[in-house]
Structure 1
Amino acid sequence: MLLTTRNKEVAQHIDRRGFLREPQCLSKEESWELLKKKAFLGKDDLDYRINIDMEKLGRKMVARCVGLPLAITVLGGLLTTKNTLNEWNLVEENFSSYLRRGKGHEQEQSTVSEVLALSYHELPYQLKPCFLHLGHFPVDFDIPTKKMFKMWMAEGIVSPMLEGEETMEHVAECYLGELLDRCMVQVGERGST
């Protein structure tokens, strides 16, 4: 039997003789590599796009993630939509203020919570209700996209951009795509369409 938990005491309570594996946090270099993969996802010639100032800023932010892959992935998803140094500076300023608010808590837990909060607050206004609507489903539940799109439309969360230009289903697909790009949703299975 395999049990995963963030609380070591829970694992020890189940079976004191069982094998306990505690994954280590990523090193600084591994953290930076993960951030680059996420922040520059789908962009051509990865090394060409990263200027020195962006790299310094990225390394500074990723260091505050204390090697936690979830925090780094969320930060990378947030940065994937930012293409200029000014945009990265804005994220870094907001990132710093969120982390300062979390001081006094356990460092790792606080970091993840604050990065997730920043990721949510940085969402465009039209994506926030879509993301919040996902809370209706259980954790790790496979959500059929067609059903979810219909729910978004019925709730008035999704509406056509301009009359006659795009269908509401196409707008919902775009919204889901943006949530995927920001690592706010995980793809379980892709269909032929």
Structure 2
Amino acid sequence: MNELHNQYEHISPMEEKIIYFIEIVTRTDLNSSWHHFDLLFEDRSDVINNKEDFKKYRKFQVYYKHKLSYEGHVYWKYPERAGDRLSAVISVKFDKILRGGESDLIQQDIQFEIDMMEHITEEGNDFFIKEVELPSFLSDYDKKRIAIILKKWGVHPPFKLSLEQVDPGQVETFIKFLISAAILLKAGGQRYSTAES
């Protein structure tokens, strides 16, 4: 926490809200289940703190039909200012994908990310996602299909999370959405990279 205070000696009320939100969420029990998935998080969170990066992260495992299928991390980046613009990115990265009992180590590319500051309500009290924003490399067909699957899994936006009174249920639903979107984007990205090679 001393590192956090040193990094943010002079902060705006909005930055303070985002930092509070991150501190609460990274201490919340994020284990959950949906569709055929079970999501398990490590109890503790860790910090990356250097000149380019200041963020918290937690390791997770995803089981599909009771078999370990994915391992990775969710990262919460503390507010970062570039000129007049403020950003606070939440991202999902996979470390391993397991297929047929074999573990494939992969590069820690970002699979899905959301900048919280692009989804803060005008009043500045809530984080609101109206719809899924998917990468441009996906075709319109794939974007529609991902949206359909997310609805089938019960993790499709809209989502609203209070920054001041963090609700564990809202956070759980949002995290399930993040992980689900990352899984679907990973599958879509692999198909496109295979087609291009």
TM-score of the superposed pair, with normalisation by structure 1 = 0.28
Return the structure number with greater strand share: 2
Query: Whose helix fraction is larger, Structure 1's or Structure 2's?
Result: 1
| Structure whose CA Rg is larger | 1
TM-score w.r.t. length of structure 2: 0.27
Q: Flag the structure with more relative contact order, 1 or 2, with Cα contacts below 8 A and sequence separation at least 6.
A: 1
